[in-house]
Structure formats: structure tokens, C-alpha cells
């Protein structure tokens, strides 16, 4: 039942994100899908599944925190969160646009960045249960990952591409305080993606003890 609810959250969260037209609301609903992968990992009751839940939670804190920072910076400068009104951001604020693109592809689960491991491990853990139901859940969860790619790429297309809209013209450059606040999250998203043992290593014994129980 938990596995079914987890996959429902992944798919419904993805579909809701595809329908969103407001930046912060889209990021908020993306968390539903991310937590669906966490729940799917837990529901498998396997070491791989618990590792998926652990690293998925850590990655979500890093990446979604960064995304909300960026959404706040965009809204503070443009006074709007409408995706329709934010077109052409890369023309007027290439630095902000570039970091937003980095955070988005990290959140959609690109290999090499933190968001990949939680999704991948959750799907693998479901397959390792070796039953028709869990195989179906794994396939549906993987489709949910494809939905995440679709709505984040749609977000980037709407916000960063095309001619600059009136709302994004003449934006102020990134402040040093902003870069100082974001830098740790940017670095951690890459470090956790390239070296997941930084998160999984310290928790190995605890995960094995939990599986044993």
C-alpha cells in the first residue's frame, strides 16, 4: 500500500507541476514527487531502499532549498512569479539564469548531481523485490522521473529562453550576499552527486541495523 501511494504521489505531483504557471508553486509541488521516491524506498524495506530515502531527503534539502532561494531572487527583481512574464531571463540576468538551470537539472535527477541517487536507488530497490507488483511500481516511478524532466525543462524554456519580457529587463546583477548564501548548496549538489558515499557511508551501519530489525 505504501509503495502504491508513493508512486501515486510521484505521478500526480509530476502532472500537477506540468500544469503550473507560477514559479514558486511549481517548485513546491515538485517536492511531492521527490518525497514519493523517498516513500517508495522506505516501502521496499531493503537496504537499498533505505539508502534511497536517506540520500533523497538530503538531496531534496540541498536542491529545493537552492531553488527557493533562486525563485525568491527572481521574484524580488521582477515582482512576478508568472512563467509567462519571466521569458528571456538569460538575456538580462545570465548569472541568475545559469544557476537556475543548474538547480533545475539537479532536481530532475541528472546523473552526476545529487538528485539522481535517491530516484535511481528507489527504482532499483523496487525491482529487487522481484514481484510483478513491485516491477510495475518501479516502471511507473521511472516514468515519474521522466515527468520531472519534462516540467523542469518546460520551466527553463519558459523562463530563460526567448526574447526578454518587460518584467525581466534591466535586472540588477547578483549580489555577493546572494552568491555567498547559494555557494554551499551549489557545491553540495555536485559533491553528493559525484561522491554519494559522503552521505551513505556514515549511515551504513545504521541502515544495516534497521534492515536487521
> Which domain covers residue 113, as residue numbers?
2-205
Q: Give a yes or no: residue 212 inside a domain.
A: no
Q: What is the mean pLDDT of residues 57-76?
A: 95
Residue 168 has pLDDT above 90, yes or no: no
pLDDT at 92: 86
Residue 154 has pLDDT above 90, yes or no: yes
- What confidence tens digit (pLDDT) does each residue in 121-152 have? 999 999 999 999 999 999 999 999 999 999 99
Q: Give a yes or no: residue 213 inside a domain.
A: no
Q: Give a yes or no: residue 21 inside a domain.
A: yes
- What confidence tens digit (pLDDT) does each residue in 12-25 have? 999 999 999 999 99
Give the chain's end-to-end CA distance (angstroms, integer).
Answer: 21
Q: What is the mean pLDDT of residues 157-167?
A: 87
Q: Give a yes or no: residue 211 inside a domain.
A: no
pLDDT at 33: 93
pLDDT at 107: 94
Split at pLDDT 50, 70, 90, the class of 170 is confident
Split at pLDDT 50, 70, 90, the class of 48 is very high
Q: Give a yes or no: residue 45 inside a domain.
A: yes
Question: DSSP letters along 157-185, please?
Answer: HHHHSSSPPGGGTTPPPPPHHHHHHHHHH
Q: Give a yes or no: residue 61 inside a domain.
A: yes
Q: Give a yes or no: residue 198 inside a domain.
A: yes
- Residue pair 167/79 in contact by the 8 Å Cβ criterion: yes
Q: Give a yes or no: residue 210 inside a domain.
A: no
Residue 87 has pLDDT above 90, yes or no: no
How many domains does one find in the chain? 1
Question: DSSP letters along 24-82, please?
Answer: HHHHHHHHHHHHHHHHHHHHHTSHHHHHHHHHHHHHHHHHHHHHHHHHHHHHHHHS--B
Amino acid at each position: 500500500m505504501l509503495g502504491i501511494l508513493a508512486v501515486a504521489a510521484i505521478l500526480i505531483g509530476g502532472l500537477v507541476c506540468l500544469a503550473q504557471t507560477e514559479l514558486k508553486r511549481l517548485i513546491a509541488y515538485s517536492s511531492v514527487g521527490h518525497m514519493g521516491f523517498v516513500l517508495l524506498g522506505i516501502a521496499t524495506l531493503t537496504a537499498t531502499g533505505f539508502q534511497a530515502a536517506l540520500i533523497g531527503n538530503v538531496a531534496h534539502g540541498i536542491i529545493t532549498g537552492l531553488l527557493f532561494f533562486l525563485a525568491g531572487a527572481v521574484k524580488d527583481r521582477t515582482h512576478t512569479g508568472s512563467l509567462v512574464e519571466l521569458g528571456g531571463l538569460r538575456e538580462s540576468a545570465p548569472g541568475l539564469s545559469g544557476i537556475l538551470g543548474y538547480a533545475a537539472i539537479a532536481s530532475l535527477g541528472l546523473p552526476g548531481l545529487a538528485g539522481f541517487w535517491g530516484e535511481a536507488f528507489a527504482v532499483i530497490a523496487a525491482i529487487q523485490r522481484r514481484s510483478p507488483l513491485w516491477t510495475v511500481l518501479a516502471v511507473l516511478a521511472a516514468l515519474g522521473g521522466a515527468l520531472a524532466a519534462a516540467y523542469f525543462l518546460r520551466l527553463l524554456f519558459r523562463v530563460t529562453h526567448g526574447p526578454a519580457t518587460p518584467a525581466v529587463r534591466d535586472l540588477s546583477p547578483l549580489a555577493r550576499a546572494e552568491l555567498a548564501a547559494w555557494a554551499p548548496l551549489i557545491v553540495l549538489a555536485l559533491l553528493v552527486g559525484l561522491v554519494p558515499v559522503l552521505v551513505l557511508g556514515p549511515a551504513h551501519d545504521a541502515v544495516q541495523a534497521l534492515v536487521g530489525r
